[in-house]
Structure 1
Amino acid sequence: MLKSVQAKDYMSEKFLKISTQTDLFEAIDMLLEYRLSAAPVVDMEGHVVGVISEGDCLKAILTLTYHEEEKGGKVGDYMTRDVSPVNIDTDIIAVSKIIIEQDLYCLPITQNGKLVGQISRSDVLRAVESFSLQG
């Protein structure tokens, strides 16, 4: 059953995390360099406080352009804040539901409160594909 598949089975353990204090344009460079649609955002203590996505960056650029500002500001000013990391043992169906309901590209994965990975929409689709090939 697909509910037996857990986030840890398909999450990326090599992931980019971005600080709330990172310059917006530096974050854009990082997302492009690593070919990511989004990345977890952490505070100074390393706690997950949000996600910065391509969409967040585009909205920020439009806002800056509208106000004719040249400086980009910090990631913490533009990130998506309403993101609740899930535990490493969360089943893939629950992960899918959160990603869909919150319209996220990726979801931070934690273990004992520590960020240990992230799972993306494509990771979830790989899990579904693998499961369907088994049956």
Structure 2
Amino acid sequence: MKHQKVSDLMSDAVVRVQRGTPFKEIAHLLQEYDITAVPVVDAEDRPVGVVSEADLLQKMWGGDPGLSPEYEDRSRPGGGKASATDAAGLMTSPALCARESWSVVDAARVMARHGIKRLLVVDEGGRLIGVVSRSDLLRVFLRADRAIRTEIVEEALVGSLGLAPSSMQVDVVHGHAVLSGRLPDDVSVTVLEEHCRRVDGVVAVEFRPAGDTGAESSASVGP
């Protein structure tokens, strides 16, 4: 099974600045485009840092050491930022980046680990090509139930576990997958559920042995 990639969900319209971009121009860009941070790139369009609203606000309140809301675990003493006049002095560096080939799981894991809301996306040469946010990644949960069901059957049951497509009744409603049937001795319920959870858009997985209709019935999604 292949998760959607960062390149499938990212936005390629990225406002960017260079090291010499003045303070006021950065403030203007954040307001004009209604964004909270802007990447700083070098002459070859490779990210070297990020300037956020928090970085600019240090000019206002004196630049005492503190934590940037978007780059908490990588922030540094901010005293110098209070006197900075351009992106080079204001930016938090290095910038956290994702490769366009990363899966949505890879990107979500890095965002969670570092407590950030978005990742810059770079190509194989390290050049900035987009940005992906938490809300972008959450779009995988907007997949149609029919598409989720098809992938569970074709990729999880047949492709990964080697089961016949007719061996299991698969119902998906609002991302909740219910599988009914008999499992072969060499496939456990745990393994079955694990493979189904790997399908993008699955919210929950439930297995019901043949003959067990469960407390509630689930509306069937047709083939």
* TM interval, short-chain normalised: 0.7 to 0.9
Which one-letter code corresponds to 1:41 in the other structure?
V
Say how many residue pairs are matched: 130
Contact 1:23–1:72 under 8 Å retained in 2: no
Contact 1:96–1:124 under 8 Å retained in 2: yes
The one of 107, 119, 134 equivalent to 1:121 is 134
The within-5 A match list for 1:1-135 is 4-63=3-62, 73-113=85-125, 114-127=127-140, 129-131=141-143, 134=148, 135=175
* Structure with the higher helix share, 1 or 2: 1
Gaps of 5+ in 2: 64-78, 149-174, 176-223
Work out the CA distance in 2 between the residues paired with 1:103 and 1:18.
Answer: 24
Q: Structure 1 residue 27: deviation in Å?
A: 0.7
Which one-letter code corresponds to 1:26 in the other structure?
E
Contact 2:3–2:105 under 8 Å retained in 1: no
Work out the CA distance in 2 between the residues paired with 1:41 and 1:116.
Answer: 13
Contact 1:38–1:106 under 8 Å retained in 2: no
Work out the CA distance in 2 between the residues paired with 1:56 and 1:81.
Answer: 12
Work out the CA distance in 1 between the residues paired with 2:103 and 2:14.
Answer: 20
Work out the CA distance in 2 between the residues paired with 1:54 and 1:132.
Answer: 37
User: Structure 2 vs 1, CA of residues 103 and 50 (structure 1 numbering), >3 Å: closer, same or farther?
Assistant: farther
Contact 2:4–2:104 under 8 Å retained in 1: yes
Which structure has the higher relative contact order (CA within 8 Å, separation 6+)?
1
Gaps of 5+ in 1: none
Instruction: Write out per-residue CA displacement over residues 2-53 of structure 1, whole angstroms, 9 at most, x where no aligned residue.
Output: x702111110011111112111221111011111122221023321111222
Instruction: Write out per-residue CA displacement over residues 62-117 of structure 1, whole angstroms, 9 at most, x where no aligned residue.
Output: 236xx9xx975111212121323221010112212222333333211111222111
Work out the CA distance in 1 between the residues paired with 2:5 and 2:44.
Answer: 27
SS in 2 for 1:73: coil
Question: If the length of structure 1 is used for normalisation, what is the TM-score?
Answer: 0.79
Q: Structure 1 residue 132: deviation in Å?
A: 8.0
Higher Rg: 2
Aligned residues: CA RMSD: 2.6
For structure 1, which segment, 24-33 or 93-102, has the greater mean C-alpha deviation from structure 2 after superposition? 93-102
Q: Percent identity?
A: 28
Question: If the length of structure 2 is used for normalisation, what is the TM-score?
Answer: 0.51
